[in-house]
Amino acid sequence: MADEARKLANGATRIDFQTDPSRWKHWKLSFDGDVATLAMDVDENGGLFEGYQLKLNSYDLGVDIELADALQRLRFEHPEVKVVLMRSAKPRVFCAGANIRMLAGSEHAHKVNFCKFTNETRNGIEDSSEFSGIKTICVANGSTAGGGYELALAADHIMLVDDGSSSVSLPEVPLLAVLPGTGGLTRVVDKRKVRRDHADVFCTIEEGIKGKRAVDWRLVDEIVPMTRLEETVAARAAEFASRSTRGGATPGVTLKPLDRTFRVDGIDYSLVTVDIDGRVATITLEGPSEAPPVTVADLAAQSSDAWVLRIARELDDAILDLRNNAFEIGTFVFKSKGDGGRVAAWDDFLEANKGDWLVNEIRQYWKRVLKRVDVTSRTLVALVEPGSCFTGLLGELVLAADRSYMLIGSFEGDNRPAPAMALTAANFGPYPMSHGLTRLENRFLATPESVEALKGKIGAAIEAEEAEKLGLVTFALDDIDWADEVRVYLEERTSYSPDALTGLEANLRFAGPETMESKIFARLTAWQNWIFQRPNAVGEEGALRRYGTGLRPTYDMRRV
- The residues that touch another protein, with contacts defined as CB under 8 A, are 162-165, 174, 205-207, 225-227, 547-552
Residue 57 or 119 with smaller CB distance to another protein: 57
Q: What does the DSSP assignment read for 70-103?
A: HHHHHHHH-TT--EEEEEESSTTEEE-EE-HHHH
Q: What percent helix, strand, coil does the chain show, rounded to 5? A: 45, 20, 40
> DSSP characters for 437-470?
--HHHHHTSS-HHHHHHHHTTTT--EEHHHHHHH
Handedness of CA 122, 504, 539, 554 (dihedral sign): negative
Is 338 in contact with 389 (CB distance < 8 Å)? yes
Asked if 555 and 177 touch (Cβ cutoff 8 Å), the reply is yes
Q: Supply the minimum distance, in Å, between the C-beta of residue 142 and another protein.
A: 11
**CA atoms of 501 and 459, how far apart (whole Å):** 35
Do 6 and 61 meet the contact criterion of CB atoms below 8 Å apart?
A: no
The CB-of-560 to another protein minimum distance in angstroms stands at 21
For another protein, give the closer residue by CB, 98 or 380: 98
**Within a 10 A sphere around the Cβ of 424, how many other Cβ atoms?**
22
Instruction: Tell me how far, at minimum, the Cβ of 63 lies from another protein, in Å.
Output: 20
- Is 209 or 421 the residue whose CB approaches another protein more closely? 209
Q: Which is nearer to another protein, 125 or 223 (CB)?
A: 223
Cα 525 from chain centre: 13
Which residue, 415 or 549, has its beta carbon nearer to another protein? 549
The answer to whether the beta carbons of residues 284 and 336 sit under 8 Å apart is yes
Q: How far is the CB of 163 from another protein (least distance, A)?
A: 5
How many C-alpha atoms does 468 have within 13 Å on its Cβ side? 13
Q: How far is the CB of 112 from another protein (least distance, A)?
A: 25
> Based on CB atoms, which residue is closest to another protein, 429 or 548?
548
- 266 in helix, strand or coil? strand
Query: Which CB, 157 or 546, lies closer to another protein?
Result: 546
Least gap, CB of 88 to another protein (angstroms): 17
Rounded Cα distance, 201 and 376, in Å: 33
Q: Smallest distance, Å, CB 172 to another protein?
A: 14
Residue 221 CB, shortest distance to another protein, in Å, is: 19
> What φ, ψ does residue 382 adopt, rounded to 5°?
-120, 130
Q: How far is the CB of 162 from another protein (least distance, A)?
A: 8
- How is the beta sheet containing 143-145 ordered, strand by strand? 93-95, 143-145, 167-169, 209-210
Rg of the chain, C-alpha, whole Å? 24
> Residue 270 or 554: which CB sits closer to another protein?
554
Q: Which is nearer to another protein, 41 or 275 (CB)?
A: 41
